[in-house]
Amino acid sequence: MKELKILAIVVFFTLVTYWGVEPFAHSKMHKHVEGHNFVYDGTADIEEVKAKIEAAKEEKHPTAALEKKLTEKKAFWADVKKIAAIKGDPKAGEAVFGICLGCHNGSGVNMGGVVPPSLDHAGALYDKNYLIALIKDPAMGSNVDHKYADTMSHPMGAIKTMVTTPQQIADVVAYLLKNKAGEITPKEAFVDACGRCHANRYAKWTQAGFVPKTKSNIKTGQDIDLLKFKQKVATEQEAVSNYMGKLPPDLSIIIRARSEHFLSTFVENPQSDLPGTAMPRTGLTKEGFEKVTEYLGETGDPSAKARAELGPKVIIFFIIFTILAVLWKKSVWKELH
Ligand code: HEC
Ligand code: HEC
C-alpha cells in the first residue's frame, strides 16, 4: 500500500512538471511566434514598429523617430501593394534584368559582405511581393533597415538609383516569375537562399562553395589546392562576419537543434524571433522554404531514409517470428499433454 502511495506521488509530480512547469518555462524562454504563412505584406514589419513605440512610451522614451519610421513603413508597403497590381511586361523586364546581372553574375566576387546569389531560379524561390519590396528598397524589404542610417548603403542599395519607376519593378519581377522560375532542387534552394552566409559542414558546403575534391602532391605530401580553397573560405568568412557582425552559424543540424516551426518563422522574418538580428528576411515562398528544409533535413540526418525503410521490414520479421514461436509452442505442449 505504501509503495502505491509513493508511486501516486511520483506520477503526480511528473505530470505537473510535464504539463505545467515545462511548457510554462518554455514559453518564458522562447516566446511563441506565429508565422504569416509566407505572405509578405508588411503586417509583421508595421506591428514591430508599433510594439517598439508602445515599449518606448512605457519607458517614457521619446517616440518621434519611431513614429516617423512607422509612417515610412506604412507608405513603403502600400507602394509595394500598388506595384504588385501593375501588369508587368516580361520582355521589357529582360532589359532591366541586365542591371541585376551587373552584380548577380555568378563570378563569385564578394560585394559588400557576401557573394550575390544566383538569380537563375529567383522566380521559383522568392515571393512576388517580396521581390518588389526588395528591388524598391533592399534594406526595407528584408527588414534590416534598422542597421542603416541611409538604406542606400545596403550592398544592393544602389538598385534604388538604377531601377526607379514602379513599371520597371513590375516588369523585372514579371520577367523573373516567367523566365527564371522552373524546377529548383533542394540543394539549389539552400545554396541560393542561405549559402552565401551559412556553411553546412555535413554537406561539405562553405561560404566559398562546395569543398572541391583535391589530391595531395605525391612528392611533398601537401594538398596545395585544398589549402588555397581553405584560404578562400577564411577570406569569405571574414567578409561575411564583418558584414553581419558575427559569423552565421553552421546549419548542418539546425532542424534537430531547433524545430521546423522555429525555422519557418525565423526564415520568414528573423526579427520576429531575434529582435535586432542582422540576418535579413529571405523572402522565400512556402515551396521555396520547403525545398530548403528538405535539403537541411537530408544533409543533417543522412541515414533517416534508410532507417525509415528498415522499420517496416523489422516489424514484418517480428510478426513472422511471433507466429512461428506460437506454432512451435503449441506443438511442443501437445506432445507433453
Ligand atoms: C549593386 C549590386 C547589386 C545589384 C545591381 C542587384 N543586386 Fe541583388 N543582391 C546584391 C547583394 C550583395 C545581395 C546579398 C545581400 C545580402 O545577403 O544581404 C543581393 C541579394 C539579392 C536577392 C536575395 C535576397 C534574399 O533576401 O535572399 C535577390 C532575390 C536579389 N538580390 C535580386 C536582385 C534583382 C532582381 C536585381 C535587379 C533588379 C538585383 N538583385 C540587383 C547585390 C545586387
Ligand atoms: C545575409 C546573410 C544570411 C542569410 C542569407 C541567411 N542567414 Fe541565417 N543567419 C545569419 C546571421 C548573421 C545569423 C546569426 C543571427 C544572430 O545571432 O543574430 C543567422 C542565424 C540563423 C539561424 C540561427 C537562429 C538561432 O537563434 O538559432 C538559423 C536557423 C538561420 N540563420 C537559418 C537560415 C536559413 C534557413 C537561411 C536560408 C533560407 C538563412 N539563414 C539565410 C545570416 C544569414
Residue written as cell 539552400?
190
Q: How large is the average pLDDT for residues 22-44?
A: 81
Tell me which ligand sits closest to the C-alpha of residue 134.
1
Distance 245 CA to ligand 2 centre (A): 12
Q: How large is the average pLDDT for residues 306-321?
A: 89
Q: What percent of the chain has pLDDT over 70?
A: 98
Distance 148 CA to ligand 1 centre (A): 16
Tell me which ligand sits closest to the C-alpha of residue 190.
2
Distance 272 CA to ligand 1 centre (A): 22
Under the banding of pLDDT at 50, 70 and 90, the label for residue 240 is: very high
What is the Cα–Cα distance from 49 to 325, expressed in whole angstroms? 69
What is the Cα–Cα distance from 43 to 50, expressed in whole angstroms? 11
Distance 185 CA to ligand 1 centre (A): 21
Distance 67 CA to ligand 1 centre (A): 29
Q: How large is the average pLDDT for residues 215-227?
A: 94
Buried b (16+ CB within 10 A) or exposed e, 130-169: bbbbbbbbbbbbbbbbebeeebeebebbbbbeebeebbbb
Q: Comparing 191 with 23, which gets the higher pLDDT? A: 191
Please, are residues 117 and 173 in contact by the beta-carbon 8 Å criterion?
A: no
What is the Cα–Cα distance from 160 to 170, expressed in whole angstroms? 14
Contacts of 246 (CB under 8 A, 6+ apart): 278
The pLDDT assigned to 305 comes to: 76
Torsion of CA 81, 85, 86, 92, to 10 degrees: 90
Atom 13 of ligand 1, residue of closest alpha carbon: 116
Under the banding of pLDDT at 50, 70 and 90, the label for residue 28 is: low
Q: Is 141 in the pocket of ligand 2 (CB under 6 A)?
A: no
The pLDDT assigned to 260 comes to: 87
Q: Is 189 in the pocket of ligand 2 (CB under 6 A)?
A: no
pLDDT tens profile 248-275: 999 999 988 888 899 999 999 999 999 9
For the chain, the C-alpha Rg in angstroms (whole number) is 27
Atom 43 of ligand 1, residue of closest alpha carbon: 156
Retrieve residue 223's grid coordinates: 594538398
The pLDDT assigned to 190 comes to: 98
What is the Cα–Cα distance from 251 to 292, expressed in whole angstroms? 11
What is the Cα–Cα distance from 232 to 137, expressed in whole angstroms? 31
What is the Cα–Cα distance from 77 to 43, expressed in whole angstroms? 9
Q: How large is the average pLDDT for residues 278-300?
A: 95
Under the banding of pLDDT at 50, 70 and 90, the label for residue 30 is: low
- Collect contacts of 98-107 with beta carbons under 8 A, ≥24 apart: 99/159, 99/162, 99/163, 100/172, 103/156
Distance 96 CA to ligand 1 centre (A): 13
Q: What angle do CA 60, 66, 67 make, to 5 degrees?
A: 100
Ligand 1 atom at minimal distance to the Cα of residue 197: 17
What is the Cα–Cα distance from 283 to 194, expressed in whole angstroms? 11
Q: How large is the average pLDDT for residues 204-215?
A: 96
Pocket test for ligand 1, best of 40, 105, 156 (most atoms within 8 A of CB): 156
* Mean pLDDT value across the chain: 93
Atom 32 of ligand 2, residue of closest alpha carbon: 267
Torsion of CA 32, 33, 34, 36, to 10 degrees: -170
Residue written as cell 522554404?
289
